[in-house]
Structure 1
Amino acid sequence: MMRITVDGEMEQLNTKLTIDPKLWDVKAGRGIGRSAKVQELNSRLNDIQVILKDHYYDIQRRHGYVTVEQVRNAYMGITQREESLLKLYEQHLEDTKKLVGLSKADPTYKKYERMYRRVIEFMKKKYNITDIPLREIKLSFITDLEFFLRTEYKYSQNTTYKCMKFFKQVINKAIRAGLIYVDPFNGYKISTERVDRGFLTEDELEKMMSKNFASARLNQVRDIFIFACFTGLAYIDLAHLRVDNIQKMFDGRWWIVTHRQKTNTKVMVPL
C-alpha cells in the first residue's frame, strides 16, 4: 500500500505490488536484500514516489496549492473537467456587454470590468496564481478577497459590498451551470451601512440661484445643478436630455418625458 499525505489529509492506494513480509523493512518502506525480485520491487516503488512528487509539483505550479485528492486523481489518471474562474468571468463580462443599452448601462458594465481586474490582482498578490479552478474556491478565498479590497484600495463598506455582489454573480452563474456544487459564499456576510448624504436647505439653494459666477461656464454648471435639484433627475439623465423629451401633455403644460438610465423607468416631470 502507498499513503499520500498533504496538509494532514491522507489517501491510501494499492500499489498492486507484493513481497514476503520477512523481506520488508517497515520503517524504510522498501524490500530487504539484493535479490532480483527485491531490486525490481524497490525500483518500482522509487518510480511511484518520483511520479507522485512530479504530480505534486505540477499541481502546485499550476494552481498555487495542492490537495491530497488532486495528487491521487493525477496518479490514477483521473482528469476532471476543470472550469477556471477567469474563463467564466470573461464569459460573464461578454454576456453583460451585450446587455448594455438594453437592461444594463455602460457605467455598470465598467464597474463589472473593474472588479474583474481587481480579482486578477488579488490572486496574483495573495496566492501568486493567474487563475483558479472554480471548484477550488472556498470561503477563505471570499473573505481574503474582501480583505484585499478594503486594505489595498481602502474601499468603504458600501463600495466593498457592491464589489462582492458583482463577484457573487459570477459564482451564481457557475452554480447554475453545475460547475460547482457548494456555494463558497455560504457563511459569508456583508451588509451596507446607512449613509447620510445630506441635503441643501432652501436658503442655501436660493443663495446658489442668485450667485453670479465669474465665467459663463460656471453659471451654466450652476443652472444645470439647480435644474437637477428641482426635477430630481440624475446627472446622466440630464446629459442625455434632448428637445424631443420636452412634450406638451393633456393638461396643456410642458413636461419632461424621459427614462432613467440606471433603472430604465419612465419619468414625467412637469415644467
Structure 2
Amino acid sequence: MIRISIDGEIEQLSSKLYVEPQVWDAKRGRANGRSAKILELNSRLQDIEVILKEHYYDIQRRHGFVTAEMVRNAYMGITQREESLLKVYEQHLEDTKKLVGLSKADPTYRKYERMYRRVVEFMKKKYNITDIPLREIKYQFIVDLEFFLRTEYKYSQNTTYKCMKFFKQVINKAIRAGLITVDPFNGYKISIERVDRGYLTEDELCKMMQKEFASKRLEQVRDIFVFACFTGLAYIDLAHLRVDNIQKMFDGRLWIVTHRQKTNTKVMVPLLPP
C-alpha cells in the first residue's frame, strides 16, 4: 500500500505490487534480499516515490499549496474538470451583466464585481496564488475570506454578511454544475445584525420642510428627501419617476403608480397634499 501524508491529511492507495510478508521491511518501505525479483520490486517502489514527489512539486508550483488528495489523484491519473474559482466567477459576472435592466440592477452587478476584486486580493495576500481549483476550496478558505474582509477593509457585520452572500452564490452555481461535491459553506454561519436606523419625528420633518436654503440645488435635494418620506419610495425609484407615473385613480385623487426597481413589484401610493 502507498500512504501519502501531508500536514496531517492521509490518503492511501494500492501500488498493485505484491511481496512475501517475511521479506518485507516496514520501516524502510522496501523488501530485503538481492534476488532479481526483489531488486525489481524495490526499483519499482523507488520509481513510485520519485513520481509522487514530482507530482507534489508540480502541484505546489501550479496551485501554491498541496493536499494528499491532490497528489493521490495526480498519481492515479484521475482527470477532473479543472475548473477554477475565478473562471466560474467571471462567467457569473458575465451572466449577471446580461440581466442588468431585466431582473438585476446595475448597482447589484457592481457589488458582485467589487467582491470579485476582494477575492482576487485575498488569494494573493493569504495564499500567494492567482486562482484556485474549485474542488480545493474548503471550509477554512471561507473562514479566512471573512476574516480578510473584516480586518483588511474593516467591514461591519452586515457588510461582511452581504459580501459572503454574494460569494456563496458563486459557490452554489459551481455545486449545481457538479464542479464542487462538498459545499465549503457547510457549518459556516454569519447573520445579519439588527441596526437601529433611527427616524425623524414629525416636528423634525416640519422644520426641514420650512427651512430656507441658500441655493436652489439644496432646496431640490430637501424636496426630494421630503417626497421620499411621504411616499416611502427608495432613491432609485424616485430617480426613475416620471410625470406619466402620476395617475388619477378610482377615488378621483392623484396616485403614484410605478414599479419598485429592486423587486420589480407594482406599487401604488396616494399623492398626499405635501
TM-score (norm 2): 0.87
Letter of the 1:65 partner, please give it.
Answer: F
CA distance in structure 1 between the aligned counterparts of 2:174 and 2:102, rounded to whole angstroms: 24
Q: CA deviation at 1:11?
A: 2.3
Q: In the TM superposition, what are the counterparts of 1:1-271 in structure 2 within 5 Å?
A: 2-8=2-8, 9-14=10-15, 16=17, 44-271=44-271
Structure 1 stretches of 4+ moved >4 Å: 17-22, 24-46
Which segments of 5 or more consecutive residues in structure 2 lack a partner in the other structure?
A: none
State the 1:101 CA deviation. 1.4
Equivalents in 1 of 2:177, 2:11: separation in Å? 31
Structure 2 CA distance, aligned partners of 1:27 and 1:253?
92
Residue 71 of structure 1, CA deviation: 1.3
Deviation at 1:33, TM superposition (A): 8.8
Change (3 A) 1:207 1:77: same
Which residue identity is paired with 2:144?
D
AA partner of residue 11 (structure 1): Q
Paired amino acid for 1:239 = A
Query: Could you tell me whether the CA contact under 8 Å between 1:96 and 1:109 is conserved in 2?
Result: yes
Q: What is the alpha-carbon distance in structure 2 between the residues aligned to residue 263 and residue 86 of structure 1?
A: 29
**Which residue identity lines up with residue 12 of structure 2 in the other structure?**
E
C-alpha displacement of 1:65: 1.8
Which has the larger displacement, 108-117 or 28-37? 28-37
8 Å CA contact 1:31–1:41 kept in 2: the answer is yes
Q: What is the alpha-carbon distance in structure 2 between the residues aligned to residue 240 and residue 206 of structure 1?
A: 26
For 1:258 and 1:2, how far apart are their aligned partners in 2?
A: 68
Greater mean deviation of Cα atoms: 254-263 or 28-37: 28-37
The amino acid that maps onto 2:58 is: D
Q: Distance in 2 between matches of 1:39 and 1:181?
A: 42
Residue 38 (structure 1) shift = 7.6
Aligned residue pairs, count = 270
Alignment CA distance shift 1:252-1:101 (3 Å): same
Backbone CA RMSD of aligned residues: 2.5
CA distance in 2, matches of 1:12, 1:176: 29
Contact 2:19 2:31 in 1 (8 A): no
Task: Tell me the distance in 2 between the aligned counterparts of 1:128 and 1:37.
Answer: 46
What is the one-letter code of the residue matched to 1:93? Answer: L
Report % sequence identity.
83
Per-residue deviation at 1:19?
9.6
Q: 1:14 corresponds to which letter in structure 2?
A: S
Please give the TM-score of this superposition, normalised by the length of structure 1. 0.88
**Letter of the aligned partner of 1:114 in structure 2?**
R
Measured in 1, the distance between the counterparts of 2:248 and 2:144 equals 56
Cα deviation, 1:155-209, whole Å, max 9, x if unaligned, reads: 1111111111111111211222222222211111111111111111111111111
**1:4 to partner: Cα distance:** 2.8
Report the Cα offset of residue 261 of structure 1: 0.7
1:78: how far off?
2.2
In structure 2, what is the Cα distance between the partners aligned to 1:179 and 1:78?
A: 14
Question: Counterpart of 1:131 in structure 2: which amino acid?
Answer: D
Following TM superposition, by how much is the alpha carbon of 1:116 offset from its aligned partner in structure 2, in angstroms?
Answer: 1.3
- Do 1:25 and 1:32's aligned partners in 2 also have CA atoms closer than 8 Å? yes
Deviation at 1:265, TM superposition (A): 1.4
Offset from partner CA, 1:28-58 (integer Å, 9 cap, x none): 5567899988877666554433322111011
Given that residues 259 and 267 in structure 1 are in contact (C-alpha distance below 8 angstroms), is that contact kept between their aligned partners in structure 2?
Answer: yes
What runs of 5+ residues in structure 1 fail to find an aligned partner? Answer: none
Deviation (angstroms), 1:25 = 6.9
Deviation at 1:126, TM superposition (A): 1.2
- The structural deviation recorded for 1:67 is 1.8
